[in-house]
Amino acid sequence: MQDMRYDTYAGAKVQTNTFVTAVFGWMTGALAITAIVALLTVRVPALTNLIFANRAVFIGLLIAEVVLVIALIASINRISAATASVMLIVYSALNGLTISAIMLIYTATSVTGTFFVCASVFGVMCGYGAITKKDLSGMGSLCFMGLIGVIIASVVNMFVASTALYWGVTYIGVLVFVGLTAYDMQKIKHMAMSVQPGSTAAQKAAVIGALHLYLDFINLFLLLLRILGRER
């Protein structure tokens, strides 16, 4: 009986580790695509001018990103794993086009330094979400409400241009995405046990999990860059 319990535990652990590895593999790949596209964009003046000198193009790219994320999440149960993977890749590439602006605003040293700070914080919170026995659902709900507030405040500040509101949104946003990282990591662990290893459902769940962690990382990085970044 004891050996049976051990075998069950060991099997569950292997299943979780395999799924989490797939999630982080997709997330890392998406981040790499974003970084490569951003670097290539700033190295091609014609492309940089097309995106940032033409407001309609830039806004169009942002809208395309939002639509793509919503479409991926909403249709995940109907599309194939290959389609979900392609949508994540396309989204990360589009994000690389728009996020390339930070290369023009901030020094390379501050961007690099902030990346490592973000990676450290992100890693700690993923570790916490993975090992804690505490249910983080309540914190996740609170962070989601905070995210809605941050989005609304950011839109309002586009019109009022308040410095105090700008920094308030920045610091609150950091706390929100730090909390969401831990919550999403715990949710990914639970997802690992709800799908059959190697199945299409598991492949699509890994893509969705990667998308959530990718969004947490990117947004946390951009907010920390406001605080730590040094402008050119």
Using the structure block, give the residue that is written with the tokens 């799924």.
19
Helix axes 200-228, 163-192, angle to 10 degrees: 160
Contacts of residue 21, defined as CB under 8 A and 6 or more positions apart, other chains included, come to none
Residue 219 contacts residue 173 (beta carbons within 8 Å): yes
pLDDT at 4: 47
pLDDT at 193: 84
Q: What share of the chain in percent tops pLDDT 70?
A: 95
Query: With bands split at pLDDT 50, 70 and 90, how would you rate the model's confidence at 10?
Result: low
C-alpha dist (Å) from residue 50 to 42, 68, 97: 11, 21, 11
Mean pLDDT, to the nearest integer, of 101-112?
90
Instruction: Give the least confident one: 8-12, 17-21, 125-129, 171-175.
Output: 8-12
Average pLDDT over the chain, rounded to whole? 91
pLDDT at 189: 92
Q: Is 70 exceeded by the pLDDT of residue 6?
A: no
Per-residue model confidence as pLDDT tens digits over 110-130:
999 999 999 999 999 999 999
Q: Is 70 exceeded by the pLDDT of residue 7?
A: no
C-alpha dist (Å) from residue 176 to 45, 80, 130, 137, 201: 35, 32, 18, 14, 29
Q: How far apart are CA 229 and CA 170, in angstroms?
A: 13
Mean pLDDT, to the nearest integer, of 23-38?
96
Per-residue model confidence as pLDDT tens digits over 128-143:
999 999 999 999 999 9
Per-residue model confidence as pLDDT tens digits over 32-58:
999 999 999 999 989 999 998 888 999
Instruction: Give the least confident one: 34-48, 146-160, 190-204.
Output: 190-204
Handedness of CA 125, 130, 119, 165 (dihedral sign): negative
Q: Is 80 exceeded by the pLDDT of residue 148?
A: yes
Which tokens is 89 given? 């890749």
pTM of the prediction?
0.91
Residue 168 contacts residue 153 (beta carbons within 8 Å): yes
pLDDT at 55: 87
Query: With bands split at pLDDT 50, 70 and 90, how would you rate the model's confidence at 71?
Result: very high
From the CB of residue 74, how many other CB atoms can be counted at a distance below 10 Å? 10
Q: How far apart are CA 188 and CA 186, in angstroms?
A: 5
